[in-house]
Chains A and B, each alone.
Chain A
Amino acid sequence: MREDLCSQLLPAGRATLRRGVAVAMVVGLLSAGRASEAQAPSAAAPAPAAPPLVIGLGQPLSPADIDRYAITVFPNGRNLPPGRGSVEQGARLYAMHCAACHGAQGIEGPAARLVGTDGFIGWSDPLRPLRVRKYPLQVLSVGAMWPYATTVFDYVRRGMPMHAPKSLADNEVYGITAHLLHLNGLVAGDALMDKEKLPQVVMPGRDRTVSAWPQER
């Protein structure tokens, strides 16, 4: 029983060690690692990193599976798919799929504010008290706060529209992204977005960004 345990946990080749030595090695491996690290009053020191103990039960992930699941788009444009969409196409799609929740102009809600400044809704807005009370998160705006336009594409493609996420074609996502950027005054009305142009759009949120990691205030 003990020997079975040892031969499973020890790296190949070690299983031939004499029984007593092998047991000691297993105990040593475990007690050195996080697996048995008690949640004891061990002062402020961070927990030690796990040892390079490889269990080895993971199975190879095929390139086809990576392609199938890896949908994250990065600020430099990495992983943006082929295709393109215009502001005009996006406006039609927005009215059909997005306006009911985000409002025709992207500011009315009830869902997150997509356009304009962040902060409290303007005093001149006749519906201000209603909006602030009912939809407090409308103090945030995608256009003002998000640092990279690639994130607009990434999130619309993975999560929108809320009732049918991932139902839009890549060209449609490019179009809706272009429309939202235009509503924010960041691209022209005849703009066309694709994987080359989208990462070049400069968002106001980028220069306002300060990272709390790794520096801590």
Chain B
Amino acid sequence: MGGLATGGVGMAVAQAAQPRPLAARLPDAMTRPGGADLPYGLPAAQEAQVERTLSTAAGFPVWRTPLQHQRGIITPSGLHFAVHHNGVPDIAPERHTLKVHGLVHKPLRFDLERLLRYPMVSRVHFLECAGNSAANALSPTALDQTLGEIAGEVSCSEWTGVPLAYLLNEAGVKDRAQWVVAEGADGGSHSRSLPLKALLEHGMVALYQNGERLRPSQGYPMRLFMPGWEGNVNVKWLHRLEVTDAPAYTKDESGLYTQVLADGRIERFAFHMEVKSVITHPSGQQRLPEPHGFCEIAGLAWSGRGRITRVDVSVDGGRTWAAAQLHGPVLDRAFTRFTLPWQWNGRKADLMSRATDEHGRTQPLRSEWKRRYAMHSFNHYNAVQAWRVQADGRVENVYA
């Protein structure tokens, strides 16, 4: 500061030798105190495009997870997919109870305060809508959409809650009991019939998702959770369990969540979501950047019946396959991340992934899947997803 006014050779030399302050050559963010944080943190403002996408084509809102942005097996709670047949109810937790009745020796109710005192388990599990990827099943031509728009009705979270066995055992199920009709406290009183034996083995009343209490769109204050089973049976806003000797054939197990087979018969109570995988990077409507060359193919695989044991990836439309690397943890009925290094030569390439689970079940091609079902069926679609990388780097949904 002093040297400028007086001048002189000596002063000029000294000035040149004096280093400029760091602030003059370092990024702005390093030259000032940072801003304040928030009571409940948010993603970076620059990542605002990472959002669920809303579709109302089915006649009810479907919010899909942007899987094309997900790296890792846990879906952020705010990006978890949701399908709402009767909206999101506003439930006062202090007045909400879970009621157990029907073929039990002691009909019981559990208020939230008491339920929170029961032993809890935590499990990382995917949750997938039976109708995920319906457009790929139904549309005669592959729709040019993002991965989230095509197959984003699946997400993966850590769910924590009370094993249903504690509650059912306490009520004492009678010998004749075979099924349980679970009902939500929403406007439509959503209900589904589930086999008692499976509920006793695997069922949970989920109270927490990814360490925090359930979000309203995921069933606050409590939901039923059945690992690996179609999303619709994981009754949100759970308030009633009626133990019975037979299913009720509720609305959703009568129509929307059934499948018409190729021979015209209607398949009901197909609970498991089958083995499936998607390449997330690169995927629909992304563009491979210049320069051509190294590109890590990355994706997610899951099975409603157990662990993923292998994922094969093809970059030539299924002519040859290479085993992708599975990244741990490889958990039972959870997303499993896979990668495969790839040198893109700048020519058109068809990328595909095909997952296999611990029971040896593997994904069919679309043509194989279509042969099992009537033309208008769309539930439980788990065929191989293919992406075409065009010579200009653009990635498009195609049918394998």
Residues of chain B with a CB closer than 8 A to A216's CB: 272
Check B99–A208 contact: CB distance below 8 A. Answer: no
Check B307–A151 contact: CB distance below 8 A. Answer: no
Residues of chain B with a CB closer than 8 A to A46's CB: 201-202
Alpha-carbon distance between A61 and B124 when the two chains are bound, in angstroms: 33
Min CB distance, A213 to chain B, in Å?
Answer: 4
- Indicate if A39 sits at the interface (CB-CB under 8 A): yes
Choose among B117, B166, B266, B271 the residue that contacts A50 (Cβ–Cβ < 8 A). B166
Check B117–A57 contact: CB distance below 8 A. Answer: yes
- Of residues 159 to 178 in A, which have CB atoms within 8 Å of B's CB atoms? 159, 162, 165-166
Alpha-carbon distance between A61 and B86 when the two chains are bound, in angstroms: 27
Check B166–A55 contact: CB distance below 8 A. Answer: yes
Alpha-carbon distance between A60 and B163 when the two chains are bound, in angstroms: 20
Alpha-carbon distance between A66 and B250 when the two chains are bound, in angstroms: 19
Min CB distance, B331 to chain A, in Å?
Answer: 6
- Indicate if A205 sits at the interface (CB-CB under 8 A): yes
Stretch at the interface among B257-265, B283-291, B312-320, B348-356: B257-265
Stretch at the interface among B16-24, B64-72, B188-196: B188-196
Question: A137: nearest residue on chain B (CB-CB)?
Answer: B58
Min CB distance, B302 to chain A, in Å?
Answer: 14
Residues of chain A with a CB closer than 8 A to B260's CB: 118-119, 145
Check A120–B254 contact: CB distance below 8 A. Answer: no
Stretch at the interface among B104-112, B208-216, B363-371: B104-112
Question: B134: nearest residue on chain A (CB-CB)?
Answer: A136
- Of residues 1 to 53 in A, which have CB atoms within 8 Å of B's CB atoms? 30, 33-35, 37, 39, 41, 43-44, 46-50, 52-53
Check B170–A56 contact: CB distance below 8 A. Answer: yes
Tell whether A53 pairs with B169 under 8 Å between CB atoms, given A75-B249, A208-B266: yes
Check B191–A60 contact: CB distance below 8 A. Answer: no
- Indicate if B121 sits at the interface (CB-CB under 8 A): yes
Check A136–B101 contact: CB distance below 8 A. Answer: no
Alpha-carbon distance between A194 and B191 when the two chains are bound, in angstroms: 23
Tell whether A58 pairs with B265 under 8 Å between CB atoms, given A120-B375, A154-B248: no
- Indicate if B223 sits at the interface (CB-CB under 8 A): no
Residues of chain A with a CB closer than 8 A to B43's CB: none
Check B254–A213 contact: CB distance below 8 A. Answer: no
Tell whether A58 pairs with B123 under 8 Å between CB atoms, given A50-B163, A70-B101, A158-B189: no
- Indicate if A148 sits at the interface (CB-CB under 8 A): yes
Question: A30: nearest residue on chain B (CB-CB)?
Answer: B119
Alpha-carbon distance between A33 and B191 when the two chains are bound, in angstroms: 29
Check A110–B271 contact: CB distance below 8 A. Answer: no
Min CB distance, A166 to chain B, in Å?
Answer: 8
- Indicate if A122 sits at the interface (CB-CB under 8 A): no
- Indicate if A186 sits at the interface (CB-CB under 8 A): no
B343-363 near A? 1/0 per residue, CB < 8 Å: 000000000000000110000
Total chain B interface residues with beta-carbon distance under 8 A: 77
Min CB distance, A209 to chain B, in Å?
Answer: 5
- Of residues 113 to 170 in B, which have CB atoms within 8 Å of A's CB atoms? 114-115, 117-124, 134, 138, 163, 165-167, 169-170
Alpha-carbon distance between A114 and B218 when the two chains are bound, in angstroms: 29
Check B99–A119 contact: CB distance below 8 A. Answer: no
Question: B195: nearest residue on chain A (CB-CB)?
Answer: A213
A70-85 near B? 1/0 per residue, CB < 8 Å: 1111111000000000
Tell whether A53 pairs with B166 under 8 Å between CB atoms, given A58-B114, A208-B264, A212-B267: yes
Choose among A44, A57, A110, A211 the residue that contacts B59 (Cβ–Cβ < 8 A). A110
Question: Size band of the A side of the interface?
Answer: 35 or more
Check A210–B248 contact: CB distance below 8 A. Answer: no
Tell whether A140 pairs with B256 under 8 Å between CB atoms, given A50-B166, A213-B270: yes
Residues of chain A with a CB closer than 8 A to B188's CB: 158-159, 162, 165
Residues of chain A with a CB closer than 8 A to B267's CB: 210-212, 217
Question: A156: nearest residue on chain B (CB-CB)?
Answer: B251
Residues of chain B with a CB closer than 8 A to A209's CB: 265-266, 268
- Indicate if B222 sits at the interface (CB-CB under 8 A): no
- Of residues 194 to 217 in A, which have CB atoms within 8 Å of B's CB atoms? 205, 208-214, 216-217
Check A55–B59 contact: CB distance below 8 A. Answer: no
Check A139–B250 contact: CB distance below 8 A. Answer: no
Check A60–B106 contact: CB distance below 8 A. Answer: yes
Check B121–A148 contact: CB distance below 8 A. Answer: no
Stretch at the interface among B6-14, B239-247, B381-389, B391-399: B239-247
- Indicate if A125 sits at the interface (CB-CB under 8 A): no
Check A58–B254 contact: CB distance below 8 A. Answer: no
- Indicate if B300 sits at the interface (CB-CB under 8 A): no
- Indicate if B171 sits at the interface (CB-CB under 8 A): yes
- Indicate if A99 sits at the interface (CB-CB under 8 A): no
Check B114–A59 contact: CB distance below 8 A. Answer: yes
Tell whether A146 pairs with B187 under 8 Å between CB atoms, given A35-B163, A65-B99, A74-B246: no
Q: List 24 A-B contacts (CB under 8 A).
A: A35-B119, A50-B163, A50-B165, A50-B166, A56-B170, A57-B118, A59-B109, A66-B107, A72-B242, A72-B248, A75-B248, A118-B376, A140-B255, A140-B376, A141-B255, A145-B254, A148-B254, A151-B248, A159-B187, A159-B189, A165-B189, A209-B265, A216-B272, A217-B267
- Apart from A48-B201, A59-B110: 16 A-B pairs, beta carbons within 8 A: A30-B119, A41-B307, A50-B200, A54-B169, A58-B106, A59-B111, A61-B99, A61-B107, A61-B109, A69-B99, A109-B59, A110-B59, A112-B255, A136-B58, A212-B269, A213-B269
